[in-house]
A = this chain, B = another copy of it.
Amino acid sequence: MKTYGVIMAGGGGTRFWPLSTKAEPKQFLNLSGKDILVNETIDRQSAFIDREDIFIVTNQTQAELMLARTDGRVRRDHVLAEPAARNTAACIGYAAMEITRKYGDGVMCIFAADHHIRDEQEYTRVMREAVRTVEETDALVTIGIHPTFPSTGYGYIKNSPIEGKRYRKVEEFVEKPDPDTAQSYVEAGCYAWNSGMFVWKASTILGYFERLLPDIYACLTEIGNAMGTAGEREVIQRVYPTIPKISVDYGIMERAKGILMLEGDFGWSDVGSWDTLDTVRKKDENGNIVSGDTLLMDAKNCVIYGKNKLIAAVGVEDLVVVEGDNAVLVCPQKDAQRVKQVVEQLEKSRKDRFL
């Protein structure tokens, strides 16, 4: 059975505001200095999936931009454009239906467009193992990340070994913990970070939709029946926005039995905010991460991103300074998560021109 890549690129993410904006979300940022995140994701999957077999699910307003930015990496008919964001269950169901109707069936490797992997070789090895596991077992397989510190920013997967197997049994998905609980998880040794990477057959996951999320399944079927017909666009425009909004984690993973997990230890990061940038980019000798035209004098442990203008940083420490097209952000690294509040406040005060 053929293996397909499914890259979820629906995010309008503003956690890297003011560099990321609604028009230019995180997946289009070149945070590593090498390429934009979505292209790094495609190229990483190309190590074990033919480029011809990679899909991207994005929203309609971004579809053309996606084709332009990915520069021929992905087939035009493999860019699936959602008319509305309906969370990850809808997104994955849409891709599964597309693969089923177009190619009969296939193993789907699902990955976010805007995450980062340090050790791509190990990543490829684990993903190949996951595909083999799906082919052997027909199970839902998820990739749990070996936790390198007691993160309170991720959900965890409690898991247990299965004798004689390289894959493990998922016992339970647990929410983002408080610091003490996170510490106990790491010490226990049987908890992995929930990275949102999944591998399964299109037919298998559609079976779960049918049993666990029948309302969504009905929508997907209506859309599937129209695929390849003249009415396809019209049906998608009409039906997709009515799909119940639910994540695949809540809708399926936390309710399905017999989910398997492969543990990955390959330097995964969701690159969630400016203060996590050291996962994708090396610091200089003073601990700074810089991009664009900068002039630093006695600056230490700063993230300095210039875009159109020179950024001069003098005598500052642990600071994030980012220039976007419409705004400049200055905050201590420890407050990097508060970018969300800034964006909310701009939305509330109708200053959308800065978003």
Binding site for B on A (CB under 8 A): 18, 293, 295, 297, 306, 309-316, 319, 321, 323-332, 334-335, 338-339, 341-342, 345-346, 351, 354
Contact status B342-A330, CB under 8 Å: no
Q: How far is the CA of A312 from the CA of B312 in the complex (A)?
A: 17
Q: Which one of B312, B315, B328, B334 contacts A309 once the chains associate, using CB atoms below 8 Å?
A: B328
Contact status A330-B321, CB under 8 Å: yes
Q: How far is the CA of A18 from the CA of B316 in the complex (A)?
A: 17
Contact status B295-A342, CB under 8 Å: yes
Closest approach, in angstroms, between the C-beta of A236 and any C-beta of chain B? Answer: 37
Contact status A297-B330, CB under 8 Å: no
Q: How far is the CA of A311 from the CA of B319 in the complex (A)?
A: 15
Q: How far is the CA of A334 from the CA of B295 in the complex (A)?
A: 18
Q: Which residues of B contact A315 (CB under 8 A)?
A: 331-332, 334-335, 338
Add 16 more A-B contacts to A18-B310, A314-B332 (CB < 8 A). A18-B309, A295-B345, A310-B328, A311-B327, A312-B327, A312-B328, A312-B329, A312-B330, A312-B342, A313-B330, A313-B331, A314-B330, A314-B335, A316-B319, A316-B330, A321-B328
Contact status B297-A338, CB under 8 Å: yes
Closest approach, in angstroms, between the C-beta of A286 and any C-beta of chain B? Answer: 15
Q: Which residues of B contact A324 (CB under 8 A)?
A: 309
Q: Which residues of B contact A326 (CB under 8 A)?
A: 309-310
Q: How far is the CA of A355 from the CA of B354 in the complex (A)?
A: 26
Q: Which residues of B contact A346 (CB under 8 A)?
A: 295, 310
Q: How far is the CA of A2 from the CA of B70 in the complex (A)?
A: 75
Q: Which residues of B contact A325 (CB under 8 A)?
A: 309
- The chain B residue with its CB closest to the CB of A335 is B315
Contact status B329-A314, CB under 8 Å: yes
Closest approach, in angstroms, between the C-beta of A89 and any C-beta of chain B? Answer: 34
Closest approach, in angstroms, between the C-beta of A148 and any C-beta of chain B? Answer: 27
* A310-B354, A351-B310, A354-B310 known; A328-B323 Cβ under 8 A: yes
Q: How far is the CA of A18 from the CA of B310 in the complex (A)?
A: 10
